Amino acid sequence: LQTVKKIALIVGGGTGSRMGSDVPKQFLSLAGKPVLFHTLEKFRDIADHIVLVLPDAQFHYWKRLCTDHHFDLPHILVAGGATRSQSVFNGLQSLNADGVVAIHDAVRPLVSEQLITTLFNDAITHGSAVPVIPVRESLRKKSGKAVNREDYLIVQTPQCFRIDDIMAAYIHAGNSSFSDDASVFECNGGAIHTVEGESGNFKITFREDLAAAEAMITSIK
Amino acid sequence: LQTVKKIALIVGGGTGSRMGSDVPKQFLSLAGKPVLFHTLEKFRDIADHIVLVLPDAQFHYWKRLCTDHHFDLPHILVAGGATRSQSVFNGLQSLNADGVVAIHDAVRPLVSEQLITTLFNDAITHGSAVPVIPVRESLRKKSGKAVNREDYLIVQTPQCFRIDDIMAAYIHAGNSSFSDDASVFECNGGAIHTVEGESGNFKITFREDLAAAEAMITSIK
DSSP B144-195: S-EE-GGGEEEE-S-EEEEHHHHHHHHHHHTT---SSHHHHHHHTTPPPPEE
Which of the two residues, A53 and A145, has the higher pLDDT score? A53
Distance from CA of A66 to the nearest CA of B (A): 28
Tell me whether residues B138 and A186 touch, CB distance under 8 A: no
Residue of B40, B201, B178, B195 lying closest to B127 (CA atoms): B195
Whether A184 and chain B come into contact, CB under 8 Å, resolves to: no
Contacts of A209 in chain B (CB under 8 A): 212
- CB-based contact B131:B197 (threshold 8 Å): yes
Residue A33 pLDDT level (bands cut at 50, 70, 90): very high
Does the pLDDT of residue B221 top 90, yes or no?
Answer: no
DSSP B211: H
**Whole-model pTM?**
0.87
pLDDT value, residue A23: 83
Per-residue pLDDT tens digits for B64-119 = 999 999 999 999 999 999 889 999 999 999 998 789 999 999 999 999 999 999 99
Helix (H) or strand (E) holding B23: none
Q: Do A182 and B152 touch (CB under 8 A)?
A: no
For residues B120 and B46, is the Cβ–Cβ distance under 8 A?
yes
Q: Is B8 in a helix, a strand, or coil?
A: strand
Residue B171 burial (CB count, 10 A): 13
More confident residue, A107 or B3: A107
A206 or A95, greater pLDDT: A95
Q: Is B153 on the interface with A (CB under 8 A)?
A: yes
Is the pLDDT at B177 greater than 90, yes or no? no
State mean pLDDT over B143-151: 88
Do A176 and B160 form a contact (C-beta atoms < 8 A)? no
A150 close to B (CB below 8 A) = yes
Ranked by mean pLDDT, the top range of A210-214, B11-15, B117-121, B208-212 is: B117-121
pLDDT band at A20 (very low <50, low <70, confident <90, very high): low
Indicate the SS3 state at residue B102: strand
pLDDT in tens, A104-116: 999 999 999 999 9
The alpha carbon dihedral of B157, B158, B160, B166 has a sign of: positive
Residues A86-105 pLDDT 10s? 999 999 999 987 899 999 99
- For residue B1, pLDDT over 60 is answered with no
Half-sphere exposure at residue B84, Cβ-oriented, CA atoms within 13 angstroms? 19
Residue type, B177: S
Residue A20, chain B, CB below 8 Å: the answer is: no
Whole-angstrom Cα distance, residue B24 to residue B12? 9
Q: Is A198 on the interface with B (CB under 8 A)?
A: no
Reported as a single tens digit per residue, the pLDDT across B7-30 is: 999 999 866 555 455 788 999 999
Answer with the residue of higher pLDDT: A14 or B155: B155
CA separation for the pair A191, B145 (Å, rounded)? 9
ipTM of the shown complex = 0.84
- Contact between residue A9 and residue A88 where contact means Cβ atoms under 8 Å apart: yes
Percentage of chain B exceeding pLDDT 70: 95
pLDDT, residue A216, reads 85
Average pLDDT of the residues in B165-177: 91
Q: Which residues of B touch A135 (CB under 8 A)?
A: 139
Contacts with A173 (C-beta within 8 Å, 6 or more apart), sequence order: A85, A184, A187, A188
CB A26 within 8 A of CB A35: yes
Residue A78: pLDDT over 90:
yes
- Percentage with pLDDT > 90 across chain B: 76
Q: Using the beta-carbon criterion (under 8 Å), do A183 and B146 form an inter-chain contact?
A: yes
- As a residue count, chain B comes to 221
Q: Report phi then psi at B73, rounded to 5.
A: -70, 120
How far is Cα A209 from Cα A206, in angstroms, rounded to an integer? 5
Using alpha carbons, list the distances in angstroms from residue A82 to A6, A57, A79, A89, A90. 26, 12, 10, 11, 11
